[in-house]
């Protein structure tokens, strides 16, 4: 009886591992490369020009004034980029 429980547990573990791999579930945290890719998309969608990513900040330029702006990478979104550009452009009367 014990042997059947052990074999059953092993088979169950294999099925669960295979199913998790098959559906693409992963517990790997996002890499800096993927964070940068998401930040690039937010800047592009928000109308900014990508400058770079350094130490937790995303840098981008306003297309009208060329001024360089920044957002924390944890707070970056297309809407935030749009607002930063609009506020900056307003200061330059552009």
d(CA 91, CA 81): 16
Mean pLDDT over 8-26 rounds to 62
Q: In sequence order, what E strands does the chain have?
A: 49-54, 57-61, 68-72
Into how many domains does the chain fold? Answer: 1
CB atoms within 10 A of CB 36: 15
pTM summary value: 0.64
Q: Per the domain annotation, does 9 fall within a domain?
A: no
85: containing domain: 29-91
pLDDT at 31: 61
Instruction: Output the domain CATH number for residue 69.
Output: 3.30.920
Per residue in 39-86, pLDDT tens? 999 999 999 999 998 888 999 999 999 999 999 988 999 999 999 999
pLDDT-based confidence at 21, cuts 50/70/90?
low
pLDDT beyond 80 at 14: no
């Amino acid at each position: 009886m014990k042997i059947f429980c052990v074999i059953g547990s092993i088979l169950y573990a294999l099925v669960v591992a295979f199913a998790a791999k098959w559906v693409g579930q992963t517990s790997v945290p996002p890499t800096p490369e993927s964070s940068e890719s998401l930040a690039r998309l937010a800047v592009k969608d928000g109308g900014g020009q990508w400058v770079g990513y350094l130490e937790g900040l995303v840098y981008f330029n306003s297309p009208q004034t060329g001024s360089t702006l920044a957002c924390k990478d944890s707070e970056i979104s297309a809407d935030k980029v749009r607002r930063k550009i609009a506020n900056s452009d307003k200061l330059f009367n552009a």
